[in-house]
Structure 1
Amino acid sequence: MGYAIKLTGRNKKNAESLLHEVTLLLEKFKVNYALEGGTLLGIYRENRLLPWDSDVDISILSEELLKMDEVYKELHKSNYRIRIRTFEANDSPFQKGMTRLIKIRKKYFFGLLKGNVCLEIFIKFTDKEHVYWKVADKTMMAPKKFYENYTQIEFLNKHYTIPLLTEEYLTHKYGDWKKPNKNWNASTDELSILKN
């Protein structure tokens, strides 16, 4: 989010490859994930990554983190750079030290350079009725029903996991998601921002 690139040309190809390869690893180690944010919106609405987007987004529920060690090992072996972001303070429902975001990029030239395109895995935390996650300094909230059942969508000859209630979820996040908005900003325009 907020990277100074666009998913066009070589960046687009790299983003498609990154999404493909990382989700194959998640599937190999049975880590349940779903496409998220602009990635979900672009593939669902337009069968493409949005060219004005700047990264690739997926999400996992916090309990899936227990399966991630093998994924990290494989990513390292396959020349990926992984950065894990944690919560720096207790901020209910989040606890200091918990993983909030995983950033993955391809490495080049013996690891000296990182790829332009970042894949972000947002970690979502559940209670009885809601799911919570952080984007920048904002807490997001959505009904738990969006994370209870999933389906598949085909994109570039691969199937990806998406919420069964995708259209309802996109409405929750974006409002009128059918109309493209190239200036949309997650930290200000996201409708799932939890109002204090």
Structure 2
Amino acid sequence: MEGDVEERKSTEVKEGCEEVLSQGGQFSQPREPEKIKEEEEKEEEEDKKEEEEKKKNKKKEEEKKEEKKEEEEKKNKKKEEEKKNKKKKEKKNKKKKEKKNKKKKEEKKNKKKKEKKNKKKKEEEEEEEKKKNKKKGEEQEEEEEKKKKNKKKGEEEEEEEEKKKKKNKKEEKKKKEEEEEGKGGRSR
């Protein structure tokens, strides 16, 4: 039974060797302890390098992330600033517009006030002119009336004078006639 096991083992080994050889492999010589140590150190060095590389890559990744974050923050800050400036500008423009409108309103109000004042002044002047003209007219009428009265008085006086003259003339004539008659009666 032991012989069977041995035989099977050697057969397996043989087959395994054939497989290794058929795949282009080759058997290595039994390794010496020094070589083993060297390989271990080499492996350790490689592990160390790999770890270093990983750390380097991680650091790079983190730096990249940080840079991206900073870039984003910068971008957002810029956006915020632009928004702020836009708001500021809008506020300034609004204030400017309001000031302009207020000035316009004030000017309109003053214009209206001035026009009202001028209208009132004009009306007062016209009223004054009317009063003056009325007074002048009344004075002229009075003057005319006076003239008429004076004329009438003059005419009446003239008439009176004429009447007096006529009366005097008549009386003179009568007197003369009477005197003539008296003389004639005496002479008879």
TM-score (norm 1): 0.14
Structure with the bigger RCO (C-alpha within 8 Å, sep 6+) is 1
TM-score (norm 2): 0.14
Higher relative helix content: 2
Higher relative strand content: 1
Larger Rg: 2
